[in-house]
């Protein structure tokens, strides 16, 4: 006599290591790794805003954006995952662990927001032609109470890279003495918004003060390819390009001018004072 068939219960067997990866001891590896990947994705997204809009090209070095961003990402990408590794105790209940990670993420986002705010204040807003050089000013270096005294059209600070302008050159003896007094106090003529003028008003003077680009190439052979690319992009020979020294917050640089109109076409990170 055949016995009635009995249902057979088959228990699913997890893949080796899968349980350990998602829970228990695997938490110490998985949680910090996921946190690091998320932090890295956020840092890359923020870097696009910072280095494409606020600190384009060599201004990342000259205006100090690269150094500030390095500090910001070091805190964001390293400290957050490290704290997550500390709280990732395999014996801790899941609910409590999620709460701890949420608190870390909130603190991390607040720190990131503050870092981005600091970078926004350090962003270059104007590049001022002053007699024989260019000076780049950050948002923090422009006195907001004086900004309203700038000429119409120059009273808004740029969020998409520095605006190229010029500083009015002292014409009388009184203006010259006043400029000297301000310089002794740490203020150049381009630091004062009421002295700002459209770049076109002094473009000819900028061109006449600029030196031929081949002199920059002879001094720094490393820029040869960069100058060639700038020349090709503007459809002019390298010999037709000129440069002015650039004074920055972090270091010096060189502003490349091209005809017609002494247009500012690029910034190189090599010091133009020599």
- Burial 220-249, CB ≥16 within 10 A → b, else e: beebeebbeebbeebebebeebbbbbbbbb
Distance of alpha carbon 215 from alpha carbon 271, whole angstroms: 12
Q: Is the pTM of this model over 0.85?
A: no
Report pLDDT for 6: 46
Q: What is the pLDDT of residues 165-194, one digit of tens each?
A: 999 877 777 767 776 666 676 678 889 999
pLDDT confidence of residue 22 = 43
For residue 155, pLDDT over 70 is answered with yes
| Distance separating alpha carbons of residues 48 and 77, to the nearest angstrom | 16
Q: Cβ atoms within 10 A of the Cβ of 16, count?
A: 7
End-to-end CA distance of the chain: 108
Closest by CA position to 268, among listed 165, 134, 110: 134
A 10 A CB-CB count for 71 gives 12
């Amino acid at each position: 006599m055949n016995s009635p068939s009995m249902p057979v219960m088959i228990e699913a067997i997890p893949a080796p290591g899968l349980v350990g990866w998602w829970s228990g001891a695997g938490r110490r590896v998985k949680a910090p790794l996921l946190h690091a990947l998320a932090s890295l994705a956020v840092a890359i997204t923020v870097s696009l805003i910072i280095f494409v809009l606020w600190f384009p090209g060599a201004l990342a070095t000259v205006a100090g954006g690269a150094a500030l961003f390095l500090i910001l990402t070091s805190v964001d990408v390293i400290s957050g995952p490290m704290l997550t590794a500390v709280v990732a105790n395999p014996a801790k209940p899941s609910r409590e662990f999620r709460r701890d990670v949420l608190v870390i993420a909130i603190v991390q986002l607040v720190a990131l927001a503050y870092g981005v705010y600091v970078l926004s204040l350090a962003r270059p807003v104007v590049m001022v032609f002053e007699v024989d050089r260019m000076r780049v000013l950050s948002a923090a270096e422009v006195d907001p109470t004086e900004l309203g005294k700038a000429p119409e059209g120059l009273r808004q600070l740029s969020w998409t890279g520095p605006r190229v302008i010029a500083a009015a050159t002292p014409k009388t003896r009184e203006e010259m003495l006043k400029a000297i007094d301000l310089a002794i106090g740490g203020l150049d003529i381009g630091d004062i918004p009421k002295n700002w003028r459209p770049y076109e008003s002094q473009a000819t003077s900028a061109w006449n003060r600029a030196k031929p680009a081949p002199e920059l190439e002879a001094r720094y052979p490393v820029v040869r390819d960069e100058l060639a690319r700038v020349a090709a992009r503007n459809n002019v020979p390298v010999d037709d390009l000129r440069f002015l020294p650039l004074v920055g917050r972090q270091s010096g640089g060189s502003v490349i001018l091209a005809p017609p109109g002494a247009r500012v076409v690029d910034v190189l990170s090599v010091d133009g004072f020599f």
